[in-house]
Amino acid sequence: MPTTTSTSSSFSSAASSSGNRQADVFSRLASSDPEVKLKALREVKNQIIGNRTKKLSFLKLGAVPAIASALSDSECNSILVQSAAALGSFACGFEAGVQAVLDAGVFPLLLRLLTSSDEKVVDAGARSLRMIFQSNQAPKYDFLQEKNMKFLFSLLNSENENVSGLGASIIAHACGTTVQQQVLCDAGVLEKLVILLDGSLSQREACLESLATVLKNNPEAVSRFVGLEAGRYLSSVTELTKDRYPRTRLLSCLCLVVIYNTSPSYFLNMGTKSSLVTTLLELLNDHGQSGDDAALGLSSLIAEKEDLQKLAYEANAIKNIVDILKTGSELHPKRLQGLFLSLAELCSKLEDCRCSFLSLEMLDLLVNALRHKNADVRTAACICFRNAARSVKNLSAGRFTNDHVMLPLVQLLHDPSSSVEVAVLGALSNIVLDFSSPKSTFIEYGGIKQLIELSKSMDPNARCSALRALRNLMFLADNKRKELFYSEVKAQGFVSLISDPEPTVQEQALALLRNLVDGCINSIEFVFDEDGLILDTVGKQLRKSPQAHMAIQGMYVLTNVASGTELHKEAVMQQLFPQPQAESNNFMLKFLQSHESQLRSATVWTIINLISPSSPGAHDRHVKLRDEGIIPQLKNMVNDACLDVKIRIRTVLSQSMSFGDN
Amino acid sequence: MTESSSNGRRNENDETSAAVNRRDPILQFLDKIRPSGDAMEDDNEGEESPTELNAINSAGGFVIVSPDKLSVKYTNANLHGYDVGVAQANKPAPFKCLTYYFEILVKDAGAKGKVAIGFTKEGFIMRRQPGWEVNSCGYHGDDGNIYLGKGTGEAFGPTYTTGDTVGGGINYASQEFFFTKNGALVGKIPKDIKGHLFPTVAVHSQNEEVSVNFGKQKFVFDVKGYETSARNKQQMAIEKIFIPPNIGYGLVKSYLLHYGYEETLNAFNLATKTTVPPILIAQENAIDEDDLHQRKTLRKLVRNGDIDAALANLQDWYPQIVQDDKSVVCFLLHCQRFIEFVRVGKLAEGVKYGRLELAKFVGLTEFQDIIEDCFALLVYPKPVESPVGYFLEDSQRELVADAVNAAILSNKKDACHLHSHLEMLLRQLTVCCLERRSMNGDQGETFRLHHVLKQYKKMKLD
Amino acid sequence: MATSKKVITRDEWEKKLNAVKLRKEDMNTLVMNFLVTEGFVEAADKFQRESGTKPEIDLATITDRMAVKKAVQNGNVEDAIEKVNDLNPEILDTNPELFFHLQQQRLIELIRQGKTEEALEFAQEELAPRGEENQAFLQELEKTVALLVFEDASNCPVKDLLDISHRLKTASEVNAAILTSQSHEKDPKLPSLLKMLIWAQNQLDEKAVYPHINDLSTGQLKTPSE
């Protein structure tokens, strides 16, 4: 095969000759002859523009510091322009390049170019700086320093569109805190930015991005922006959502999403809302970066807003998104994340959405996404599962309970990313809730063990979610499973969960315990293991005047324990009235006076179980409760605002009557 | 008319139209000078819109129109089908636009929620629901049906009640009614009613109350967005049409040739010849290029304000055009000469020139007003800022140059091209759009080249 | 349908045509827009002087743009790339599709010149990495390399790539990208008005019979045969 040989030889020579050429150009960068140097700079620039591979190989050769020194040493405008352009290209869409450029210390050199009298030099400097500021690695810019603010305004005021665009890019990059937003607004930055809205394409885009950063989550800034010339610029931004350039349409949509999420009152107009939704949906079909960003924009727009979710649903959002996911081409992780999050939002509240989503048969795609190499995509897919599984109808149809779905979910419990863990726990809690078969599949895969592991995670969110899942898992579970679970946790484990530093974790731990001791007498015994260590801890926590949410779960634990034998009831009494009484005021009295009706209700339930007439010690316990002022307190509550509490109190008082108490 | 005609009837037509052209090919330039010529173009602005309800003509006794005339309330307990409380707007919906739209807010659906929104004609029976009678249309709140003047309604959209904002609109381009509820489009339905239509609301059970928004407040529905997407849809359909590639080149070339922009033409020819591959331009037969240079020279002279030289050259090259010293071309050139005197402040010479050359046109009806306007330039200390300042604008010179050019072209034996090809296409486009619009009762936007170009500039600069 | 159509005679129609008021400035603007967008800088300059019409963008920017366009049209793609980069380095750095198409055109030119070895080297070094980044590019690359398989390119199923029209396509893509970077419309207004004429006639056809313009290049009215 002579052809093959010649081809392969030419390939290998190609690789080496290109390497040689690069080395050759590189060596000429350091030439003392300005002509040679200029030519080499242009060559490097032309080789790397648009070409990631070349950027990388020149980077490895050390081209960036070489170009940086050309930039700092030369007074020749052409050399300045070429070297700035080359550095800008290294920094364009190439993080390693940004790093190298910053490391080479060119930042002040590029800034210096902005003061040149040659417009081309200014352009080149401003463009390169803009590239750098598009990266997260760019240096933070301290707006609080007066000279910096002055400089920023000199940029924004510039006639040169690259320079004013740079000003806007700096804001978009560096403005993060409310204080910064405030300082910028007070300095009049909004007034400057809106002028750029009428400028060239690149000015407009930079302006929309920086507007979004200045307005984000800052109602004051938004009202200031909307107030400019009686809302003229809000209308301008709205109009730009119909622009002919997709990028402009996207950025103006994102700006509106920020405004909407910050101050929804400016969006009373349903038409604006629905056209925002439809524009974002249309942009999803854009193949480029705009389409990637549109997906996240959409999910942020409809997050926790039922009306917008409905609008999106009516605009056929689910079908659109699923169609894009089904195209089979490789999608950018950002786009996948956004699409799954949007689906998740759509399925968060509306049952119609869940059904239509599940009817499109894309569970396979979702399962694949669970294995995606990008953690954000995995997280989004889990959230999507969690919300879709809120559909009781679909859950009971057993859609999620096969191995195909459960295995990857359980595997994600080992995920290196804690946000994935939290999300998958959310999904699992919903799937394992209330149904027997998924629970067994889950347990088969060692899910319980994994959850217990996670309940010891360093991340409080993960602990909380793990406990929530376990709590669902223990709801109406049979004794076998409870024992399996308890044998893994043990009393000591429970004690540490109940005394977790995070109140939310404590609450979930108590809720889990409440489900664990619910039901048959045997399960109550768990809290008496190791000399009643768990019950003691519960009592201790309740006496520490906990938050209402925690107290509710604690009281239900006691309620459930008090539903047991005489021994159990007495143990509860011990917790309620320990010897010696530390405080003058019993915590039960406080709970009964709580604003939280659920806490009042839980407390009354405990009392009902304690003085249930069928048990022999009921009378004595009643006496104790009366002497401690509990029964008189209940008498004051016969007209409680909460119907449930009112009914329960009547039950207690009728029991009380039977003990001859009036 | 360059081709030999194939039937007699057309020959006849050709002759009449040619006769018309021969009589006044240059006369049109007089119209172009008159400032009113432009005002006509913006005739759709200033069309009046409804502002409030007609309180007098509403069904008295059943309905109370509020003092601000923007809401109605039904006071009676209703009895039968002839005691509906109807109120029309004080003016019909404007129609020289893409859409008309208004909204109502149901403040109280009353006992039965028999609220309706729609459009009716001027003589509508004010005791009937819109849609119950012929030539009316209504979207009813109690059943969500649309009524189009037949006995029964058709299923259309959701019902609406207290707290809902409902809108009614007309899309004149598609000749459809459309309705909205709470900012979302409910649906559309063909509009078969001709002539003026009044926005109309109706209430028909006790305590029903509705307020109307004719646009004073921001609409809940995004009408602008609706219009934009309607336009975009049309634009997309248009962009899909195939035309032969490079056809623009030939049109531009013949345009340059027609108006005698010789230098531009040469530069353009040179450039198209050197592209790779060269752009082939269909050969132009109608206008030979012999006189191009002369026409270009004359245009240049006029544009430079050197009218004397232009007249002298005309005398040499085209004596037949200036033979009749009362011709339109002569008139325009003399006027321009006068204007040029004014421009440089030589008023006395201007007056002298005017007496000599313009006096002979006084009394000729077609010129009288223009002469008066021209002489008015003398009255103002700053003529440029005066109401007749347009005479001093660059476009005036261009216009006179065009008139000279047209006179030369029309004087040729085979002269048939009063207009350039490009202009003929644009005229055809304008008439087609106008004609289509007139078949819709003159409703909808008109096509105007000026607006298309302005729109483009706006997109670019804003 | 046909019976209800309104018939407009040629005479009536011509009266309507003559009644249309068109501003000369508007037509001049339209022509200027064409010259500027298509890049006829000399002609645009002369037109400004001869008609007093202001160009909508700085004519100097046209010269640079046309130099790029011409370079592609002549097959000097490398030269074109350098010129675009001098004009604005962001254009090719942020527009991977355009960059790929230019590189692809470069490959095509090498193949056209019969420089097989150089073409292969170029495909390996410059284009293959782009293909790795984007599935669609890879397919186009494979299609282009297929040109090498055929000794006689005229038999090749992808011979269209060698056609001069492919150069023009690439050239107009660069032209459009530069115009966009200068915030200018990438297409002239004239062709879309011509399309609109066809559309308007089609629309009116549904309701009326009237003299048509069928040949856009001459603008001749044709009375429809009844």
pLDDT tens sequence across C184-213: 888 889 999 999 999 999 989 988 899 999
Start-to-end C-alpha separation, chain B: 45
SS3 of residue B72 by DSSP: strand
Find out whether B262 and B300 touch, Cβ atoms under 8 Å: no
At what angle are helices A333-349 and A317-326 packed, to 10 degrees? 150
CA of A264 vs chain C CAs: smallest distance (Å) = 33
Residue C98: its pLDDT value, please?
A: 94
CB A352 within 8 A of CB A312: no
Q: CB of B220 within 8 Å of any CB in chain A?
A: yes
Which residues, at least 6 apart from C108, have a Cβ–Cβ distance to it below 8 Å?
C144, C147, C161, C162, C166
φ, ψ dihedrals at B290, nearest 5°: -55, -45
Distance from CA of A300 to the nearest CA of C (A): 26
Distance CA A7, CA B331 (A): 81
The separation between CA B85 and the C-alpha centre of its own chain, rounded to angstroms, equals 39
Rounded to 5 degrees, what angle do the CA atoms C25, C31, C32 make? 85
3-state secondary structure of A393: helix
Q: Are residues B79 and B211 in the same domain?
A: yes
Q: Is A307 on the interface with B (CB under 8 A)?
A: no
**Which among B237, B428, B452 has CB closest to C197?**
B428
Are B189 and B327 found together in one domain? no
Identify which of C81, C135, C182 has the shortest CB distance to residue A46. C81
Q: CB of A50 within 8 A of CB of A38?
A: no
Supply the mean pLDDT for chain B: 81
* Structure-block tokens of residue B391: 């005479």
Q: What is the pLDDT of residue C207?
A: 86
Q: How far apart, in whole angstroms, are the C-alpha atoms of residue A636 and residue A655?
A: 16
**pLDDT score, position B6:** 40
Residue B401 and residue B427 in one domain: no
Q: A201–C180: do the CB atoms touch at under 8 Å? A: yes
B132 with B229, same domain: the answer is yes
Is A487 buried (19+), middle (13-18) or exposed (0-12) by CB count in 10 A?
exposed
Residue-level length of chain B: 462
**Are residues B138 and B147 in contact, defined by beta-carbon separation less than 8 angstroms?**
yes
Residue B5 banded pLDDT, cuts 50, 70, 90: very low
Q: Is residue A103 part of a domain?
A: yes
Quote the pLDDT of residue B38.
46
Instruction: Assess whether B134 and B200 both reside in one domain.
Output: yes
Domain for residue B48, yes or no? no
Does some domain include residue A93?
A: yes
Q: Which residue of A has its CA nearest to B223?
A: A271
Separation in Å, CA A38 to CA A74, A178, B439, C86:
10, 46, 68, 13
Inside any domain, residue B58: no
Same domain, yes or no: B118 and B31: no
DSSP string for chain C: -GGG-EE--HHHHHHHHHH----HHHHHHHHHHHHHHHT-HHHHHHHHHHH-PPPSS-HHHHHHHHHHHHHHHTT-HHHHHHHHHHH-THHHHS-HHHHHHHHHHHHHHHHHTT-HHHHHHHIIIIIHHHHHH-HHHHHHHHHHHGGGG-SSGGG-TTGGGGSHHHHHHHHHHHHHHHHHHTT--SS-HHHHHHHHHHHHHHHHHTTEE--EE--TTTT-EEPPP-
Q: Give, rounded to a whole angstrom, the gap between the first and last alpha carbons of chain A.
A: 110
Asked whether the beta carbons of residue C129 and residue A51 sit closer than 8 angstroms, the reply is yes
Would you say residue B280 lies in a domain?
no
Chain A residue with minimum CA distance to B217: A269
The DSSP letter of residue A458 is S
> Which own/partner contact pairs does A655-661 have at CB distance under 8 Å and 24+ positions apart?
A655/A608, A655/A611, A655/A612, A655/A613, A655/A618, A655/A622, A656/A611, A656/A622, A656/A626, A656/A631, A658/A613, A659/A611, A659/A618, A659/A619, A659/A622, A661/A622, A661/A626, A661/A631
Residues 163-202 of C with CB under 8 A from B: 164, 167, 183-185, 188-201
B76 pLDDT above the threshold of 80: no
In tens, the pLDDT along B8-58 reads 333 333 333 333 444 556 777 887 777 654 444 444 456 788 888 887 765
Tell me which residue in C94, C120, C183 faces A11 most closely, judged by beta carbons. Answer: C120
- Nearest CB among C96, C135, C182 relative to A50 is that of C96
How many domains is chain B partitioned into structurally?
3
* Closest CA–CA distance from residue C140 to any residue of chain B (Å): 25
Could you tell me which of A310, A270, A293 has the C-alpha nearest to residue A208?
A293
Do B341 and B384 lie in one domain? The reply is yes
State residue A443's pLDDT score.
67
How far apart CA B267 and CA A427 sit, in angstroms, is 71
Kindly report the number of other CB atoms within 10 A of residue B395's CB atom: 15
Is C124 at the interface with chain A, CB within 8 A? Answer: yes
Contacts of A268 in chain B (CB under 8 A): 220
Which phi and psi angles does C9 have, rounded to 5°? -75, 165
In which domain, by residue range, is B398 found? 11-39+285-418
From the list B113, B112, B124, B133, the residue with the least C-alpha distance to B87 is: B124
Tell if the CB–CB gap between C121 and A17 is shorter than 8 Å: yes
Pairing of strands B184-190, B176-181: antiparallel
Chain B residues closer than 8 Å to A314 by CB: 184
Chain C nearest CA to B427, separation (Å):
6
Name C187's Cβ contacts closer than 8 Å, sequence gap at least 6: C37, C176
The more confident residue out of B279 and A645 is A645
A244 touches chain B (CB under 8 A): yes
Is the pLDDT score of B59 beyond 70?
Answer: no
d(CA A335, CA A348): 20
DSSP lists the bridge partners of residue B199 as B119
Assess if residue A112 is contained within a domain.
yes
Residue C207 has its nearest CB partner, among B13, B37, B439, at: B439
Which of B12, B28, B246, B251 to probe the C interface (max C CBs under 10 A)? B251
With an 8 Å Cβ cutoff, is C12 touching chain A?
A: no
> Residue A48 domain-assigned?
yes
Q: Which residues of A60-72 are buried (b: 16+ CB within 10 A; e: fewer)?
A: ebebbebbbbbbe
- For residue B432, the chain C residues in CB contact (below 8 A) are 197, 200-201, 203-204
B167 with B310, same domain: the answer is no
Q: According to the 3-state scheme, what is the secondary structure of A172-201?
A: HHHCCCHHHHHHHHHCCHHHHHHHHCCCCH
Question: H/E element holding A298?
Answer: helix A289-302
Which of A289, A193, A299, A286 has its CA nearest to residue A244? A286
Residues counted in chain A: 662
Q: Is the peptide bond before A580 cis (omega within 30 degrees of 0)?
A: yes
Could you give the strand order of the β-sheet that contains B71-74, starting from the edge strand earlier in sequence?
B63-65, B71-74, B209-213, B99-108, B165-171, B176-181, B184-190
A83 domain residue, yes or no: yes
Residue with tokens 């070489």: A66
Using alpha carbons, select from B111, B122, B126, B98 the residue that is nearest to residue B201. B126
Of A242, A269, A311, the CB nearest to B218: A269
CATH for A25: 1.25.10.10
What pLDDT is recorded for position A335?
92
Task: State the pLDDT confidence band at C85, using cuts at 50, 70 and 90.
Answer: very high
Q: Does C56 touch chain A (CB under 8 A)?
A: no
Q: Which of A15, A49, A330 lies at the smallest CB-CB distance from C93?
A: A49
CA distance to partner chain B, nearest, from residue A334 (Å): 29
Q: For residue B301, what is the nearest residue in chain C, using CA coordinates? A: C50
Contact between A273 and B220 using a beta-carbon 8 Å cutoff: no
Q: Per the domain annotation, does B253 fall within a domain?
A: no
Q: How many whole angstroms separate alpha carbon C106 and alpha carbon C77?
A: 6
Subunits next to C (3 or more Cβ pairs <8 Å) are A, B
Residues B212, B355, single domain; the answer is no
Q: Answer whether A403's CB lies under 8 Å from A395's CB.
A: no
Can you give the pLDDT at residue B252? 92
Contact criterion met (CB below 8 Å) for B199 and B102 = yes
Radius of gyration of chain C (CA): 24
Sign of CA dihedral A637, A638, A639, A641: positive
* Cβ count near B41 (within 10 Å): 16
Burial (CB count <10 Å: 0-12, 13-18, 19+), residue B306 = middle
| Residue B194 and residue B100 share a domain | yes
- How far lies A295's CA from each of A279, A286, A325, A354, in Å? 11, 10, 12, 19
Residues of chain C contacting residue B458, judged by C-beta atoms under 8 Å apart: none
In a domain, B267, yes or no: no
Chain B residues closer than 8 Å to C207 by CB: 436, 439
> Which of A306, A399, A409 has the alpha carbon at shortest distance from A348?
A306
- Pairwise pLDDT comparison (B80 vs A426), residue with the higher score: A426
How many structural domains does chain A have? 1
CB atoms within 10 A of CB A283: 23
Residue B117 lies in a domain: yes
Residues 169-188 of C with CB under 8 A from A: 180-183
Question: CB pairs under 8 A, 24+ apart, for A19-24?
Answer: A19/A57, A22/A47, A22/A54, A22/A57, A22/A58, A22/A61, A23/A61
| Helix, coil or strand: residue B158 | coil
The chain B residue lying nearest C214, using CA atoms, is B425
Kindly report, residue by residue over B303-343, the tens digit of the pLDDT.
999 999 999 999 999 888 888 888 889 999 999 999 999 99
The Cβ-side half-sphere exposure at A105, using a 13 Å CA radius, reads: 5
Contact B221 A311 (CB under 8 A): no
pLDDT of residue B157: 86
A311 touches chain B (CB under 8 A): yes
Mutation pick from A49, A133, A243 vs chain C, by most beta carbons of C within 10 Å, is A49
- Which residues, listed in sequence order, are joined to residue B184 by a DSSP beta bridge? B181
Q: Are residues B26 and B136 in the same domain?
A: no
In a domain, A99, yes or no: yes
Domain presence at residue A506: no
Give the pLDDT mean for B200-227: 87
Structure confidence at residue C110 (pLDDT): 92
End-to-end CA distance of chain C: 15
Which residues of chain A are modeled with pLDDT < 70?
A: 1-17, 268-269, 328, 394-399, 401-403, 433-445, 580-585, 661-662
Look up residue A224 and give its two tokens.
């200031």
Q: Which residues pair with B176 in a beta bridge?
A: B171, B190
> Residue B401: what pLDDT?
93
Buried b (16+ CB within 10 A) or exposed e, A76-107: eebbbbbbbbbbbbbbbbbebbbbbbbebebb
Residues B159 and B76 in one domain: yes
Distance CA C215, CA A266 (A): 53
Domain membership of residue A97 as a residue range: 17-139
Contact of C37 with C192, CB cutoff 8 Å = no
Q: What is the pLDDT of residue A583?
A: 57
* Nearest residue of chain A to residue C83 (CA atoms): A46
Up-side HSE of residue C6: CA atoms within 13 Å toward CB?
Answer: 12
Decide if A620 is inside a domain.
no
Mean of the per-residue pLDDT values of chain C? 87
